[in-house]
Structure 1
Amino acid sequence: PPIGWEHEALFGYMLVCLLTIRLFDTFFELPSSALLAELTSDYNERTSIIAIRSFCGVAGGLIMQLLVYQVFLKKNPDGTGGLLERSGWEVYSIVGAITIFTIILISSSATHHQIPYLRKAPTRKITIPAMLREVGATLNNRSFVVLAISGMFMNVSLGLKTALELYFNLYFWGLTQGQLAIMTVTGVLASIIGVTLAPIIAGKIGKRYAAITMFFGAVIALLLPIGLRIIGVMPANGTNLLFGILILDFMANGIMAIMTGVMLQSMIADVVEDSEVKTGRRSEGLLFSADNLFKKIVSGVGVGVSGVLLTYVAFPQGAKPGAVDPDLLRNLALIYLPTIGAFYAVAISCLFLYKIDKSVHEENLRILQEGVLDARTTDAQIEAASPAATGPAGDLSPATPRP
């Protein structure tokens, strides 16, 4: 950010940057997410694909975080450097931007060979009112609605957690940057375990119950250490025992959190066929874009709530680790626990209303396949078919079989 600007000008500068990032990120993220439903319709294979994708996202983020602690913003023995060093952030931002741009190009080019196997987009004319009615009908899917609401509350919680995580690690637990780096490496290991177990557990008990179980476990792992510290049963800061407990808890939370994310993305993909059966239109782009839009709308709410909590407890600006009043940290924890717990409770509760399991998904595929076969009974029927007869789905032909 420019040096010497007033707070109002800096706010405007950061807002423009944020909106620009969100805009261009959307151009990549939405088509990339929607592509999942077209790569495979298999109930379990979708979970495997999204597990790999989630691992790359989490592991990549954790590796960059490790570079922050150990390279770009490493704290030097003489006390210089560290997380408050401006020049370190400048170098990190340049490396991060180049890395993101390169990975996006690799990901996009690596999926081009799938284009011949994708469904053909329908060619038809439609008025804006008719389009809006179709959008409303598509999004008015019970399973999608509950997933979207759950995702919104989960994103608010994640925003709050992410914004305050560094405060709790540095001030509440008194961890050093070296210990934070070790926890980051542990997070990569947790991601590997999580993406390996996600398809297995989803295949055993189904995506919905797997998501609910893992979600609940992740929340417990996130909040339990703070709760135990409040009641005075956690080891003192600076001890190896405390750090060992936090490492195990961090790994447990990471494993279950990434499994939850994998399940939820795979569940949204299964809504595509359910919606197609009900509306006659295949709308993976709309469903994934709407889900992402709703999450982006509330993505800043959690960060805003974190600011409110820090202001409420009068957290000092520029505070050094070990120099913050313990009562102030306790008050922050007492407000943080019920606040984030309530958001997560709503997110988990919504998942009980999701109705698409493996049997429902396979029945949807059967109905769609029989519909295709019926529409192809004779060449004459195909040639005689009009947009009104075939419905708004347009081209009903399936994707070209993959070798």
Structure 2
Amino acid sequence: MSALADPLPTKTKLLYGFGSIAYGIKDSGFATFLLFYYNQVVGMRADLVSLAIALALFVDAFIDPLIGQWTDRTRTQIGRRHPWLYASAIPICVSWLLLWHPPQASEMMQFFYLLSLAIMVRISLSLNEVPGLALLPELTKDYDDRTSILRYRFLFGWGGGLTMMALAYAVFLAPTDAYPNGLLNPEGYSTYAIIGAFIMAFAVLIAARSTHTRIVKAYRETKHLPAASESLMHIFATFRFRPFMLLMLAGTFAFANQGLVFALTPYLLTHIWLFEQTQLFIYAISIFAGVILTFLLINGISRRFGKSKTAAVLTLVSMVLSTLPYWLRMIGMFPSPGSPVLLPLILVFIIFATAAAVGVMICTMSMMADVTDAYEYETKKKSEGVFSSGMWFMQKAVGGLGILFAGIIISIIQLPDKAPPGSVDIVVVDNLALIFASMTVIIGLIGAWAYTLFPLSQQDHIERIAKLASAQGVVKTR
């Protein structure tokens, strides 16, 4: 009996998901603190910091497919992915430490230091996340179990990032006599980096070790391992696989909406709803509540309705809940800033909108694993790493597109720089709400429609896996 015949044990799911803490800490640090640290603490111009971060994202996105191809072509006694998973721990730890300890130098030298270290951090995480996601179709061939596994990855990824953010605000960057504004304390960032680096390395090693035995056993049971893509042209041919292209189309709009919502949220909460610091902290906690809700519900929903239909419906749910407060505000049917019911009501919308959005991402990643099986069946090539890199490329590039859309919106409405909440002309605030809601609806509708085009069903998957298992001389399906 194959090691992949049964669903993955819950303990292994937990430990495999635990590895995504590293990616969560990185994402939280880049999104929340990196720009502020290099601009306000180190003293670099904000535009140079933003340029370095953007260039690092661009380089990383194009490196990912190569990493995916290299992992597909790896042949060792412990399989194809685990050498990369183990080897990534030290680069992740070292690059994260160095990123938050820049040298005293000229501004241009610091620019190139930031650019180099941001690239190193991103590539180090890609050395883990690309083979880590590619491991999913190798961990189980069970159609529904893949969704169940991924919910642990998202739970720990979001939880790790939000926990480090909360620790930074409450402990590492707390006000002191020397630094009444704790966000300006360089020692706080040093502590944040040191603790984060070791947690990240520990997390990825635990995740790799937890899947080691199962993968090695399955790898050795496979009598014939199909060839992998061997050139850049093969990579491009892999990306042209129709189910993958349709999944990328749907994911592009889903992740673009995510990037748009997250980039504009600080503006929406402070200038439209006039939230204060304590309310913003409560907002951050509510995001994680939405992630937990998804963790509890997504597997049952996906199992009942199928992955593509679930993703399409949840895309619409997220779109409606994200924008409904703004549509109601425009017609005078939503509580005004200062109302005692505003915060709890907004949090309800945020929690359920976040839950739906995260559910879409889980289904999308799970469908990617089904795509790899379909591609292997049709081409006799194993390209899990290449497909995994394509998903990460899409997520990173489109996340940046969402941020770009947000910047364009802010420019169009002519929001003043450093404007205190409550000081902005009401016309500008109204335009912010209208354009945000309109763009979110347009992107969401296209994304929901795109998910309905995904051609791979559960029954198709079961039949393909049975035929693949028969061809390889092992039984790999339920």
Q: TM-score, normalised by structure 1?
A: 0.82
In the other structure, the counterpart of 2:344 is 244
In the other structure, the counterpart of 2:286 is 186
Matching residue within 448, 454, 468 for 1:368: 468
Q: 1:8 to 1:265 in 2, by over 3 A?
A: closer
In the other structure, the counterpart of 1:113 is 213
Separation of aligned partners in 2, 1:127 and 1:371: 20
Separation of aligned partners in 2, 1:7 and 1:69: 21
In the other structure, the counterpart of 1:157 is 257
1:27 matched to 2:163? The reply is no
Q: Any idea what the Cα deviations from partners look like across 1:272-299, whole Å, max 9, x if unmatched? A: 2111111111221111112212332333
What is the identity, as a one-letter code, of the residue corresponding to 1:314?
Q
Q: Any idea what the Cα deviations from partners look like across 1:113-168, whole Å, max 9, x if unmatched? A: 3342243697899996xx34543443332221111122222222222221111111
Separation of aligned partners in 2, 1:299 and 1:349: 20
Structure 1: stretches of 5+ with no match in the other structure = 374-396
Q: Any idea what the Cα deviations from partners look like across 1:15-64, whole Å, max 9, x if unmatched? A: 54543332222111101111111110001111111111111112223333
Q: Any idea what the Cα deviations from partners look like across 1:43-96, whole Å, max 9, x if unmatched? A: 1111111111111112223333434554456689xxx648x7565667655554
Separation of aligned partners in 1, 2:45 and 2:358: 40
Separation of aligned partners in 2, 1:108 and 1:275: 26
Alpha-carbon contact 2:312-2:447 (below 8 Å) kept: no
In the other structure, the counterpart of 2:361 is 261
SS at match of 1:119: helix
SS at match of 2:135: helix
In the other structure, the counterpart of 1:232 is 332
What is the identity, as a one-letter code, of the residue corresponding to 1:267?
M
| Cα deviation, residue 188, structure 1 | 2.6
SS at match of 2:219: coil
Q: 1:336 to 1:57 in 2, by over 3 A?
A: same
Separation of aligned partners in 2, 1:43 and 1:248: 32
SS at match of 2:441: helix
| Cα deviation, residue 211, structure 1 | 1.3
Question: What does residue range 1-400 of structure 1 map to in structure 2 within 5 Å?
Answer: 1=38, 3-6=42-45, 9-10=48-49, 11-12=51-52, 13=111, 15-71=115-171, 81=181, 92=192, 95-119=195-219, 131-373=231-473
Separation of aligned partners in 1, 2:442 and 2:246: 17
In the other structure, the counterpart of 2:18 is none
Q: Any idea what the Cα deviations from partners look like across 1:215-253, whole Å, max 9, x if unmatched? A: 210111111112211222111112221112111111111
Alpha-carbon contact 1:137-1:279 (below 8 Å) kept: no
Deviates more, 1:272-281 or 1:63-72: 63-72
Q: Could you say what the CA RMSD is over the residues aligned between the two structures, in angstroms?
A: 3.0
Percent pairwise identity: 28
Separation of aligned partners in 1, 2:471 and 2:392: 30
Separation of aligned partners in 2, 1:125 and 1:266: 23
Q: Any idea what the Cα deviations from partners look like across 1:180-219, whole Å, max 9, x if unmatched? A: 2223333333222211211111111111111111121011
Separation of aligned partners in 2, 1:36 and 1:244: 38
Aligned length: 372
Deviates more, 1:13-22 or 1:178-187: 13-22
Separation of aligned partners in 1, 2:228 and 2:207: 33
Q: TM-score, normalised by structure 2?
A: 0.70
Q: 1:340 to 1:93 in 2, by over 3 A?
A: farther
Separation of aligned partners in 2, 1:311 and 1:191: 32
What is the identity, as a one-letter code, of the residue corresponding to 1:46?
R
Q: 1:17 to 1:132 in 2, by over 3 A?
A: closer
Alpha-carbon contact 1:70-1:181 (below 8 Å) kept: no
Structure 2: stretches of 5+ with no match in the other structure = 1-37, 53-110
Q: 1:316 to 1:357 in 2, by over 3 A?
A: same
